[in-house]
Amino acid sequence: MARIDYSDPATANDRTRELLAKNRNANIFRMMAHSPSHLEQYCRLGGAIRHKGELDPIVRELAITRTGMLCEAPYEIVAHKRIGNNVGVTDAQNAALEDWRSATCFDDVQRAALAFTDEIVKLRRPTDATFNAIKSKLTPGALVELQLAVGFYVMTSKFLETFDIDMQPVSDVV
């Protein structure tokens, strides 16, 4: 159960109601709607990360889901496994993310991105070896997008866990 009540869309301003409706009134957005200006900016940056870059969407979703795992945020994991499936992440890849290093279902770019993700989340910064490995496989733009995606979803995972956001019923996320 969430640590504070979710906002009520019926009492929100028009723009907040529009953003909530666009995002299926999902619990994370209903919680964030307590601060309408931050909700709007969060949605803008999240939309850019997920829809406006050059980073391969499969690599992006693998990194986001892995970030949710490392941050121990079940809501994030469930949501982005589903989103990943929609952009081409296989069921085998989603199942293998917990122990991706021993899995054979990831290509070299995906493996480099997952190592980069692990180090961004676990270390102060990625090691030179890990950074250079992913740098050799992505354009500078895609590399920036990967780092921003991981950082954004660390923040999102921490938000979800701080407020103990409830999982959406399956009927709400399909």
- For the domain that residue 104 is a member of, what is the CATH number? 1.20.1290.10
* Residue 23 belongs to some domain of the structure: no
In a domain, 124, yes or no: yes
Q: Is 136 inside any structural domain?
A: yes
Is 129 among the domain residues? yes
Written as tens digits, the pLDDT of the chain (174 aa) is: 999 999 999 999 999 999 999 999 999 999 999 999 999 999 999 999 999 999 999 999 999 999 999 999 999 999 999 999 999 999 999 999 999 999 999 999 999 999 999 999 999 899 999 999 999 999 999 999 999 999 999 999 999 999 999 998 755 443
Number of domains in the chain: 1
Residues 32, 39 contacting (CB under 8 angstroms):
yes
Instruction: Give the C-alpha separation, 36 to 90, whole Å.
Output: 36
Host domain of residue 124: 57-162
Closest CA to 63 of 12, 2, 138, 10: 138
pTM value? 0.94
